[in-house]
């Protein structure tokens, strides 16, 4: 059986892969450090410096940089650094250039038929038009001189999230595609998948984002879900045929030894489940000045390296950062992502198995279809034994025993389920295997209603206000979407009512914030209708790919009646 393979290791002493960095990335990290010393912390975004591209070759640029007059603390006179950057670099974002989407029309035929209210329809058309703002392709210089750029070459046009996120991102693309499908932009949606597949072909996994500094990790794996949704709308069998081999390759990546862990349940049955694990043990280049500051508390090199691996693995989870991954919720350096089996990652891989089974059947690969169906049944059993908590009516992340004996699989213990409430505890509802079980959905819906996560403007990410961006009071479009879509697919009237209510709250807050600020936001503050979110390591961003996608998908599904008001009251 070529398509499935068994995991080899448990959590302790895994092989410690580290993907080599590039000389350009290392040099730009030096520039980043000097810029921080020179310009100071206020409004400083370290990512700007690793996104610069070179005007001349690297050795000429390094030579000029080394000649700058530096003080003992590493700063350079502002005018000298300004002059150097202006002379030797093209601005961040100059190598990703505007591309007119081939299939954009201002009002697509059959666009959001259930949206009758003229105000909401007008706004939806503005959100739809934002695809034009976010559409990009890599410049010809990136193709001809890749050594001058951290941006990676891609064959087709992309949709970027927006603002500082000037490159395509992996899991964001799923919700961008959901919006593009509502906007009837099927060719643009397919091109995004083609780009992600080209990264998978080159690097063996879909990268966090299309930059040289993101090669050491992936992001929540939703490629199969993208192919599935596109096929569902377009019926394009050839597209499925081309996508299937890369999907099998991605499945291998997620089930290879670094990401797979064997765990023995309470009934002595072994299960293979997955975790996030970045191939990196240094500061994230896009945030290296920040990471080094936090790591300075570790004096021992291997502890520092482990902390850096936890930071990058958390970025792989897409939830960077959150108390979800911290042993001590008030201590950022207690991140332990690599020792956690996350509910949502395992749901994404279960969905991958179901999608591959479905897609393989479409193209007549019946053996693959049967293998993957079996794999999904096995994972569903694992899911029920390891993550489900009957008392809470939720699925809970499982914390591995750090330092346990690795000769044997770890044995499941009830105390290792994380009882803190996170929106991810409800993500299994997204999968038909779970949302088709009406009594289960009703139990989980009641648990969601009493969880404290349901707020005025949507579902909060957690109950802890830590100042991290993947915590309370922030609400994120992907989390709203997966939970709402799951509830709304169920046979339970109660669950469908809750789904519609959350979707309406989310649409309202996006609308009111848009009217106030003129922009769609990366995240929202769910405590207050019409407020965008904050916290975390960079200033709030606008644009914004997945928020636009989810609003369009919700409006397509739920519509908006003619006489229903759209303000916050
Ligand atoms: O620069 C810091 C981090 O930024 C990214 O993470 C956040 O933005 C992404 C794009 O919208 C999103 O996919 C992710 O869920 C956000 O937390 C990036 O993905 C990280 O790797 C990076 O370190």
Counting ligand 1 atoms within 8 A of each CB, the residue from 320, 538, 545 with the most, and so the one to mutate, is 320
Percent of all residues in the chain with a pLDDT value above 90, rounded to a whole number = 95
Whether residue 8 has pLDDT greater than 60: no
Residue 398's Cα: distance from chain center in Å? 20
User: What is the predicted pLDDT for the residue at 194?
Assistant: 98
| Alpha-carbon dihedral 531, 536, 541, 544, rounded to 10 degrees | -80
| The overall pTM is greater than 0.90 | yes
Whether residue 565 has pLDDT greater than 90: yes
| DSSP state letter for 150 | S
Whether residue 357 has pLDDT greater than 50: yes
Better-predicted residue by pLDDT, 408 or 273: 273
Residue 200's Cα: distance from chain center in Å? 16
Whether residue 468 has pLDDT greater than 70: yes
Say if residues 282 and 315 touch (Cβ distance below 8 Å): no
Active site residues: 320, 522
* CA distances from residue 324 to 234, 255, 283, 506 in whole angstroms, order as listed: 38, 23, 21, 23
User: What is the predicted pLDDT for the residue at 15?
Assistant: 56
Q: Are strands 260-264 and 410-411 parallel, antiparallel or unpaired?
A: parallel
Quick one: tokens of 2?
Answer: 């070529």
User: What is the predicted pLDDT for the residue at 38?
Assistant: 98
User: What is the predicted pLDDT for the residue at 6?
Assistant: 33
ipTM given for this complex: 0.96
For the segment 417-433, what is each residue's pLDDT rounded down to a tens digit? 999 999 999 999 999 99
The CA 316 to ligand 1 mean position distance, Å, reads 9
The residue whose CA has the least distance to atom 20 of ligand 1 is 315
The helix (run of H) or strand (run of E) holding residue 187 is helix 186-203
The atom of ligand 1 lying closest to the CA of 545 is: 11
pLDDT (average), residues 551-559: 98
Residue 523's Cα: distance from chain center in Å? 13
Percent of all residues in the chain with a pLDDT value above 70, rounded to a whole number = 96
User: What is the predicted pLDDT for the residue at 16?
Assistant: 78
For the segment 117-163, what is each residue's pLDDT rounded down to a tens digit? 999 999 999 999 999 999 999 999 999 999 999 999 999 999 999 99
Whether residue 165 has pLDDT greater than 90: yes
Residues contacting 183, CB < 8 A, separation 6+: 104, 108, 111, 128, 131, 552
Cα 244 from Cα 235, distance rounded (Å)? 15
Say if residues 170 and 192 touch (Cβ distance below 8 Å): no
pLDDT (average), residues 190-204: 98
Quick one: tokens of 434?
Answer: 């779970």
Contacts 24+ apart (CB under 8 A), 364-370: 365/244, 368/3, 368/244, 368/248
The atom of ligand 1 lying closest to the CA of 546 is: 11
| pLDDT grade for 64, boundaries at 50, 70 and 90 | very high
Quick one: tokens of 286?
Answer: 């896009």
Residue that is written with structure tokens 């069998």 in the block: 237
For the segment 98-107, what is each residue's pLDDT rounded down to a tens digit? 999 999 999 9
The CA 233 to ligand 1 mean position distance, Å, reads 29
| DSSP state letter for 412 | P
The atom of ligand 1 lying closest to the CA of 47 is: 1
Helix/strand/coil (H/E/C) assignment for every residue in 194-232: HHHHHHHHHHCCCCCECEHHHCCCCCCCCHHHHHHHHHH
The atom of ligand 1 lying closest to the CA of 311 is: 23
User: What is the predicted pLDDT for the residue at 3?
Assistant: 37
Instruction: Name all residues whose Cβ lies below 6 A of ligand 1.
Output: 47, 161, 165, 169, 171-172, 208-209, 284, 286-287, 315, 318, 320
The CA 5 to ligand 1 mean position distance, Å, reads 30
Say if residues 527 and 457 touch (Cβ distance below 8 Å): yes
Cα 103 from Cα 180, distance rounded (Å)? 10
| DSSP state letter for 137 | E
User: What is the predicted pLDDT for the residue at 569?
Assistant: 79
Helix/strand/coil (H/E/C) assignment for every residue in 303-346: HHHHHHHHHHHHHHHCCCCCHHHECCCCCHHHECHHHEECHHHH
Residues contacting 322, CB < 8 A, separation 6+: 314, 422, 461, 462, 466, 468, 469, 470, 471
Residues contacting 546, CB < 8 A, separation 6+: 161, 172, 174, 175, 176, 476, 477, 478
Residue that is written with structure tokens 């690795």 in the block: 406
Average per-residue pLDDT for the chain: 95
- Exposure class string for 367-402: b at 16+ Cβ within 10 A, else e: ebbebbbebbeebbebbebbbbeeebbbbbbbbbee
Q: Terminus-to-terminus CA distance in the chain, angstroms?
A: 58
Contacts 24+ apart (CB under 8 A), 437-440: 438/490, 438/491, 438/492
Say if residues 272 and 6 touch (Cβ distance below 8 Å): yes
The atom of ligand 1 lying closest to the CA of 522 is: 11
User: What is the predicted pLDDT for the residue at 403?
Assistant: 62
pLDDT (average), residues 469-492: 98
* CA distances from residue 456 to 122, 435, 453, 465, 531 in whole angstroms, order as listed: 24, 25, 10, 16, 11
Residue that is written with structure tokens 């349901």 in the block: 454
User: What is the predicted pLDDT for the residue at 327?
Assistant: 97
pLDDT (average), residues 318-327: 98
Counting ligand 1 atoms within 8 A of each CB, the residue from 165, 215, 324, 533 with the most, and so the one to mutate, is 165
pLDDT (average), residues 408-422: 94
Say if residues 461 and 470 touch (Cβ distance below 8 Å): yes
The residue whose CA has the least distance to atom 11 of ligand 1 is 161
| pLDDT grade for 407, boundaries at 50, 70 and 90 | low
The CA 101 to ligand 1 mean position distance, Å, reads 24
Helix/strand/coil (H/E/C) assignment for every residue in 69-126: CCCCCCCCCHHHHHHHHHHHEECCCCCEEECCCCCCCCCCCCCCCCECCHHHHHHHHH
Q: Between 223-234 and 343-362, two packed helices, what is the crossing angle to 10 degrees?
A: 40
Cα 354 from Cα 356, distance rounded (Å)? 6
The CA 219 to ligand 1 mean position distance, Å, reads 9
């Amino acid at each position: 059986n070529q398509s499935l393979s068994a995991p080899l290791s448990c959590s302790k002493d895994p092989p410690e892969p580290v993907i080599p960095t590039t000389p350009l990335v290392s040099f730009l990290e030096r520039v980043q450090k000097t810029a921080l010393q020179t310009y100071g912390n206020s409004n400083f975004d370290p990512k700007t410096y690793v996104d610069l591209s070179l005007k001349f070759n690297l050795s000429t640029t390094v030579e000029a940089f080394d000649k700058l007059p530096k003080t003992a603390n590493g700063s350079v006179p502002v005018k000298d650094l300004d002059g150097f950057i202006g002379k030797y670099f093209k601005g961040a974002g100059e190598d990703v250039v505007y591309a007119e989407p081939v299939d954009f029309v201002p009002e697509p035929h059959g666009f959001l038929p259930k949206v009758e209210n003229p105000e909401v329809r007008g706004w939806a058309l503005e959100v739809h038009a934002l695809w034009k703002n976010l559409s990009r392709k890599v410049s010809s210089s990136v193709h001809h001189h890749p050594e001058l750029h951290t941006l990676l070459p891609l064959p087709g046009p992309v949709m970027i999230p927006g603002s500082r996120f000037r490159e395509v991102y992996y899991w964001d693309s799923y919700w961008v595609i959901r919006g593009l499908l509502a906007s009837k932009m099927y060719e643009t949606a397919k091109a995004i998948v083609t780009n992600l597949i080209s990264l998978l072909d080159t690097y063996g996994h879909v990268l966090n984002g299309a930059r040289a500094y993101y090669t050491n990790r992936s992001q929540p794996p939703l490629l199969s879900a993208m192919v599935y949704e596109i096929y569902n709308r377009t019926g394009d069998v050839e597209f499925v045929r081309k996508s299937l081999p890369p999907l099998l390759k991605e499945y291998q990546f997620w089930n290879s030894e670094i990401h797979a862990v064997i765990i023995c349940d309470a009934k002595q049955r072994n299960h293979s489940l997955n975790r996030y694990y970045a191939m990196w043990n240094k500061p994230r280049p896009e945030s290296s000045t920040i990471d080094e500051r936090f790591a300075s508390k570790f004096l021992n090199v291997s502890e520092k390296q482990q902390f850096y691996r936890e930071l990058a693995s958390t970025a792989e989870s897409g939830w960077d950062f959150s108390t979800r991954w911290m042993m001590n919720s008030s201590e950022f350096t207690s991140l332990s992502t690599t020792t956690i089996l996350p509910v949502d990652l395992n749901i994404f891989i279960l969905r991958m198995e179901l999608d591959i089974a479905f897609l393989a059947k479409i193209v007549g690969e019946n053996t693959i279809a049967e293998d993957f169906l079996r794999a999904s049944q096995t994972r569903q059993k694992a899911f029920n034994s390891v993550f489900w908590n009957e008392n809470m009516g939720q699925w809970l992340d499982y914390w591995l025993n750090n330092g346990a004996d690795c000769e044997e699989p770890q044995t499941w213990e009830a105390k290792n389920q994380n009882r803190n409430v996170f929106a991810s505890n409800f993500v299994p509802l997204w999968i038909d295997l779970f949302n088709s079980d009406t009594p289960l959905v009703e139990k989980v819906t009641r648990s969601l209603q009493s969880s404290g996560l349901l707020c005025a403007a949507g579902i909060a990410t957690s109950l802890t206000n830590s100042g991290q961006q993947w915590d309370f009071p922030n609400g994120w479009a992907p989390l709203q979407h997966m939970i709402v879509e799951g509830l709304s697919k169920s046979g339970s009237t109660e669950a469908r009512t809750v789904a519609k209510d959350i979707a309406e709250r989310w649409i309202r807050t996006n609308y009111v914030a848009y009217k106030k600020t003129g922009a769609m936001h990366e995240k929202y503050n769910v405590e207050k209708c019409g407020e965008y979110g904050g916290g975390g390591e960079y200033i709030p961003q606008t644009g914004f790919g997945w928020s636009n996608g989810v609003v369009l998908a919700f409006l397509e599904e739920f519509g908006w009646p003619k006489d229903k008001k759209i303000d916050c009251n």
